[in-house]
Structure 1
Amino acid sequence: MEQSKRVGFVGLGIMGRSMAKNVAKRGFPVTVWNRTPAKMAEAREWGARLAAHPKEAAEQCDVVITIVGDTSDVREVALGPNGLLEGAHEGLIWIDMSTISPDATRELARVAAERGVRMLDAPVSGGDVGAREGTLSIMVGGDEETLAEVKPVLEAMGKNIVHCGSAGAGQTVKACNQIMCGVNLLGMVEALAFARKSGVDLDKMIQVTTQGAAGSWALANLAPRVVRGDLDPGFSVRFQQKDLRIVLEEAARLMLPLLGTSTVHQLLRSVEAHDGGEDGTHALIRVMEQLGNLKIVPSKE
């Protein structure tokens, strides 16, 4: 795909703003739309064109990327008034990089195809750091030839781009990713609690365990932030809960019990109940502090 191809971005949240900027840096003309005008003004400063609505972004672009909060948000920006499918034209490719229901994705792909639009589902993993650095993992469902056509755009955002299968397969693999993230998160906070209760230095425990079979992304990246008292979100509890809800709904449809995932979902609900929904997912440590009657996160001065 030539860099002259025009790319639209619908959604400029923590992830979308960095992803759009990286696509622009690669030389693609970028048009953006976001519900919050201030985020669009920020995009104008680095050269993006502004659309009045998703329909206009689709009309002006060859590829439209959506990265919004939930299944209902994707439906709204795609199928609602002035939605991107109203701006459908010959050759338009829609890449949904949100994390939503695999079943809904398959339905949206069918609707898009009826309007002559090729759709890929391409959710991402790597958090805000991966979005800023352009190192996201991107799991893609849909037509492989369509993926080949837009791969240069995706390469501006990610380093590990994998075709997972037909429509919805990208979302299914993302669900697998979120299962492992949640269970690893629980293991990390339990290990921190065990070390603290036992009187072991937390930094030394992390230093050793990250290098062996117990190592995980959560342990290497989130545990040090817990020890520093930094619970700011790279990925918020609220969005993790949304993802785990999607996992559990799909598991129910498949008649598949997911005990670990269910436990993490319930524990994070406690974080939400204590007004921690906008904290990072590692705020799960707060529940462990309550359950174990111990202090891990240092108090802020």
Structure 2
Amino acid sequence: MTRVGFIGLGIMGGPMAGNLVKAGFDVIGYDYSPARTEALAAGGGRAAAGIVEAVQESDVVITMVPDSPDVEAVALGEGGILATARPGQLYIDMSSISPKTAQGVAEAAKPYGVRVLDAPVSGGEQGAIEGTLSIMVGGDAADFEAARPLLEVVGATIVHVGPHGSGQTVKAANQLIVAGTIELVAEAIVFLEAYGVDTEAAVRVLAGGLAGNRILDRKAAGMLAREFQPGFRIDLHHKDMGIVTSAAREAGVVIPLGAAVAQLIAALKAQGHGGLDHSALLKLVEQLSGRTSG
């Protein structure tokens, strides 16, 4: 499968599609933003006029769009992926959506003979640029093996985690951990600053001990500098925490800390900070501590 239709060329999808081009795949991309589609073409890919062309010109279709309704519109709508695809064609959704939506798309694809994988990613914009994303894949094992050559281009950790919807369930757990960790790092930074500690030195030593984590490695410098350019937007993490809390409730699982962080993210969004990186949780910790730096 050398021809790839890539739909959704934003902060994550753009560099992922670009890496596939660099690896020698024939990538035909489409995004609602013409500028993004043109950027892919300028980098050696091809520009599709719409979803139909991207699907018909490809062996495998990949989507990277913001939310469950977007996947449903692109995959299930009139002139969408399923209505356009050929029997046997592989469709990989790499968006972060509800597990129920992923299962529903896979079920809807059966009458069309389209093979579906849900393969959300973790690693943020930098991971997408570097091709080092962690990819959690739900679906049939044989389809996972067929997709592996493409996934290995955009990711470094690629794991089949179970049947349809499992990838999205694991991604929800990932977002729960990431949100909680960012919040704790934010609280630690404000705490350290309140005592006049050399915070850059403190972050270095914390990162080398048991408290070490990817958030300290990748986000702490921006948090110390109050630079919250996304990255991964608060708006999207707010959406993901809604998925987590809803799915946990359905399963009868109690997530008290996760629920609290979900409310903090919701508060940032309500204050108009939805376009900032999720590390902007630091702003709310400052505000609650009466130490707002602006």
TM-score normalised per structure 1: 0.95
Question: What residue number does 2:27 align with?
Answer: 30
Q: Secondary structure at the match of 1:277?
A: coil
Identify the residue that residue 262 of structure 1 maps to in structure 2.
259
Deviation at 1:91, TM superposition (A): 2.2
CA distance in 2 between counterparts of 1:148 and 1:270 reads: 42
Share of identical aligned residues, percent? 42
1:227 maps onto 2:224 in alignment: yes
**1:103 corresponds to:** 100
Which secondary structure state, in structure 2, belongs to the residue aligned with residue 289 of structure 1? Answer: helix
- Cα distance in 2 for partners of 1:228, 1:194 equals 16
Amino acid at match of 1:239: L
8 Å CA contact retained: 1:100, 1:246: yes
Range that drifts further, 48-57 or 238-247: 48-57
CA displacement 1:102-139 (0-9 Å, x = unmatched): 01111110111221000000000000000001110110
2:189 maps to which of 164, 187, 192: 192
The CA distance in 2 between the partners of 1:248 and 1:19, in whole Å, is 29
Inter-partner Cα distance in structure 2 for 1:249 and 1:256: 10
Q: Are 2:173 and 1:172 equivalent residues in the alignment?
A: no
Letter matched to residue 217 of structure 1: R
Count of residues in correspondence between the two structures: 294
SS in 2 for 1:89: coil
What amino acid is aligned across from residue 108 of structure 1 in structure 2? V
Tell me by how many angstroms 1:56 deviates.
2.1
Q: Paired residue for 2:147?
A: 150
1:48 to 40, 45, 52: 45
The 1-side partners of 2:257 and 2:145 are apart by: 37
- One of 204, 209, 212 as aligned partner of 2:201: 204
3-state SS in 2 of match to 1:156: helix
Q: Secondary structure at the match of 2:12?
A: helix
Aligned mates of 1:187, 1:261 — CA distance in 2 = 12
> 1-side partners of 2:267 and 2:88: how far apart?
47
Aligned partner of 2:158 among 156, 161, 176: 161
Counterparts of 2:271 and 2:88, CA distance in 1: 48
The 1-side partners of 2:13 and 2:77 are apart by: 20
Per-residue Cα deviation, 1:184-239 (whole angstroms, up to 9, x for no partner): 01110111111112221211210111111111111222111111221111111011
Which 10-residue stretch deviates more, 25-34 or 218-227?
Answer: 218-227
Letter paired with 2:117: L
Letter in 2 for 1:131: A
Match of 1:12 among 9, 15, 27: 9
* Corresponding position: 1:85 with 2:73: no
Distance in 2 between the 1:82 and 1:215 partners?
A: 48
Q: Give the partner amino acid of 2:45.
A: A
C-alpha displacement of 1:144: 0.9
Q: Tell me the CA shift for residue 84 of structure 1.
A: 1.0
Is 1:62–1:91's contact at 8 Å kept on the other side of the alignment? no
Q: Match for 1:205: what amino acid?
A: A
Distance in 1, Cα, partners of 2:173 & 2:36: 31
User: Amino acid of the residue matched to residue 51 of structure 1?
Assistant: A
2:288 maps to: 291
Kept in 1, the 8 Å contact 2:134–2:158? The answer is yes
CA distance, structure 2, for counterparts of residue 203 and residue 228 of structure 1: 10
Tell me which residue corresponds to 1:137. 134
Contact 2:87–2:112 (CA under 8 A) maintained in structure 1: no
Kept in 2: contact 1:58–1:85 (CA 8 A)? no
Counterparts of 1:228 and 1:133, CA distance in 2? 23
Structure 2, unmatched stretches of 5+, are: none
Which amino acid letter does the alignment assign opposite residue 159 of structure 1?
A: A
Extract unaligned runs of 5+ from structure 1.
none
Q: Give the deviation of 1:53 after TM superposition.
A: 2.0
CA contact (8 A) 1:123 1:139 kept: yes
